[in-house]
Amino acid sequence: MKIYEGCFILSNAGKETEVKDLIDSIEKQIRDSGGKTLKIQRMDKRPFARVTGKIDAGYYVNYVFEMEQEKLNTFRDKFKLKEGIYRLMISEAAAGAENREPVATEAIA
């Protein structure tokens, strides 16, 4: 099993409870795909640097998880057309990602 980091940008069009449900459903999809969630980092709602569509901000959530490499593409494909998920990026995690402290972030005006 390899360790991956997945950054999900959730659409902020829904209510806060819908965002929480989406976060839980992503974690469930990791388990259902044979993986194990090691860490979830909720990074709150942030405005986009460049607005390209109808929404101008999204709720960022970073997952550190382990999964078989063969199952990763199937896992990623489940989110291509899922309502509420605006963008997704999955990469191999750097060593120690599961133990790393969240980075403090500030909005830049």
Task: Provide the 3-class DSSP secondary structure of residue 89.
Answer: strand
Report CA 18 to chain centroid distance, whole Å: 15
106: in domain: no
For the stretch 1-40, pLDDT in tens is 899 999 999 986 656 678 889 999 999 999 999 999 999 9
Q: pTM to 2 decimals?
A: 0.80
CB 85 within 8 Å of CB 10: yes
108: in domain: no
CATH code: domain of residue 41: 3.30.70.60
For the stretch 32-74, pLDDT in tens is 999 999 999 998 888 888 887 788 888 999 999 999 999 999 9
Stretch among 27-31, 37-41, 89-93, 96-100 having the lowest mean pLDDT: 96-100
105: in domain: no
20: in domain: yes
Q: Which two tokens mark 60?
A: 């960022």
Range of the domain at 28: 2-99
| Distance separating alpha carbons of residues 60 and 9, to the nearest angstrom | 5
92: in domain: yes
